[in-house]
Amino acid sequence: MKMNKPIIGITSTILDIEIKGEVNPSVQTNHQYVKTVIEIGGIPIVLPVANEEIAKEYVNICDGIIFASGEDINPSNYNESPLEELQKTNIARDEMELPLVRYAVEKRIPILGTCRGLGVINVALGGSMKQNIETKESAFSHNQKTSRKLPSHKISISEDCHLNQLLGVNDAMVNSKHHQAIDELADSLRVAATAEDGTIEAVEARDKNQFILGLQFHPEELYAADTDMLNLLELFGKACSKGN
């Protein structure tokens, strides 16, 4: 029997944790995502890194999926060689999450991506990434030195985008902890928000009947003190509830 609350999957990574002198590969995701899903009325389940066959099963049990933050996306996924500035990647995670995006889109399951998750959505749908934005191109650093629970810069929300219509605001203050950003945007996505230096900060599906929201920032760290961020996350929760 279907539960009244939506089941929302949260992607994870593999972290080596030392216990009593032995290294144990462990499933890891930021607990703030779990708290966020509970806050917006969902049931959180963590999705371990597995294989493409398991990814197909994940979309059968989830009413929505959060693609969490983490490692850089391996540039081979968008036909580029790695630059020196590329940071840690996780091939196994890429190999599961990229098809997971495509299966979720095919099944029209709402998806939300933050930071790495934005890149995963874009690359899975045919886009590419700037492997490192800490160059002359960038008007300011996007890797803030303060806590992610504090905003560091403003974004402008496009007036004609679905996100603007839903939130009713033209700008917002966000946090920033990344060194990569979208380069070529996937055809099925549209820009929903940008930073003052032109960095893409939010994307959404061109098809307004499909809930896809990718965010370069971390609303899960801001919503407790920011009504706009809470509203944004609640929109995702409501989209996940529609199938219930």
Chain center to CA of 123: 12
Q: Estimate to the nearest angstrom the gap between the alpha carbon of 168 and the chain centroid.
A: 22
The active-site residue, picked from 62, 153, 218, 240, is 218
CA distance 106 to 18: 39
Q: Which two tokens stand for residue 117?
A: 């998750």
Place of tokens 């540039």: 75
Whether 220 sits among the annotated catalytic residues: the reply is: yes
- Cα separation, 110 vs 209, in Å, equals 10
Catalytic hit among 97, 220, 221, 240? 220
Is 218 a known active-site residue? yes
Distance CA 101, CA 93 (A): 12
Is the Cα torsion angle 231, 67, 222, 30 positive or negative in sign? positive
- 115, 142, 161, 240: which is the annotated catalytic residue? 115
Enter the DSSP assignment of 143: B
Q: How far is the CA of 127 from the CAs of 4, 21, 78, 82, 201, in angstroms?
A: 36, 43, 7, 16, 15
Active site residues: 115, 218, 220
